[in-house]
Amino acid sequence: MGKPRHFLEAIKVEHTVFALPFAYIGMVLAAGGWPGWRIFFWITVAMVAARTLAMSANRLVDRHLDARNPRTAGRHLPRGLLAARDLLLAAAGSAALLLVAAWRLNPLCLALAPVAILFLVGYSYTKFFTWTSHWILGLTDGAAAAGAWIAVRGRLDPPALLLWLAVTVWIAGFDLLYACQDVEFDRRERLHAVPARFGVATALRWARYCHLLTAAALAAVGWVMGLGIGYWLGWLAVVGLLVYEHSLISPDDLSRLDVAFFNINGYISLITFAATLVGLYF
């Protein structure tokens, strides 16, 4: 079981908590409740396949950079715990599974699946030529919510676009924070990231702007969908967590970045999902 365990560790399977709840939010809002077991199953399969594809491709693309970066040199490919072919096979299998899931959902999902695959693989290359890579990653992750909406309704409606926007700027915001760890390495390797290009203080400020937009977009979703008081209580909790997240770090102190990045954002995703369910049913 060593290699499967190493693979799950390499793709950070536990970070599925960031995007999967938002896919389920798109699903239940589009359905106005429970969409049925078939749709739920294939959306889940599509999400797992998409995330496995994205992370497998990312580890492959970054393997030589990871080996040169002291922070990431302990990852599985640089250490030889996994081979490049392992990740390549996983990526190919995941892409095929994503296409099957899209086919089982509806024709529009299947038609858009190749575009999704392009972004899932391509975003790992954007850091080589543009500092907007943080927002491209957010756009790619945010497509989970919009895709789930399409899986239910067979079309893309304005509430799904608002939810997509919320996830895009939320992910971009905490990716800006995460990138602050590698400023010197990114500059040395000529990688494009906001902290390396404009400085850590600017990156933190732009992250705050992103998360202000996140709060506004989530409020717009609640208003457009007519969600109940439970949603708004959850929204207040999310805003509080975003404020707390930014209070943990400063340009001179990034020591608590892991807490801000992993723990708090996991809570935000789960609270938003729970609040949506309560707001929808009550």
pLDDT at 263: 81
C-alpha to C-alpha distance for 165 and 273, rounded to whole angstroms:
16
**Helix residue spans in 106-199 (DSSP H):** 107-122, 133-153, 158-179, 183-189, 194-198
Which residue stretches of the chain have pLDDT < 70? 1, 259-261
Amino acid present at 234: G
Query: What pTM did the predictor assign?
Result: 0.94
CATH 1.10.600.10 fits 2-281, yes or no: no
C-alpha to C-alpha distance for 281 and 122, rounded to whole angstroms:
38
Among 148, 147, 210, 145, smallest CA distance to 175 is for 210
Residue boundaries of the structural domains of the chain? 2-281
* CA dihedral of 166, 48, 37, 107, whole degrees rounded to 10: 80
Angle, helices 16-31/133-153, rounded to nearest 10 degrees: 40
C-alpha to C-alpha distances, 65 to 68, 126, 127, 215, 247, nearest whole angstrom:
5, 14, 12, 34, 31
Among 202, 161, 195, smallest CA distance to 178 is for 195
Quick one: how far is CA 75 from the chain centroid? 20
C-alpha to C-alpha distance for 107 and 277, rounded to whole angstroms:
28
pLDDT at 260: 65
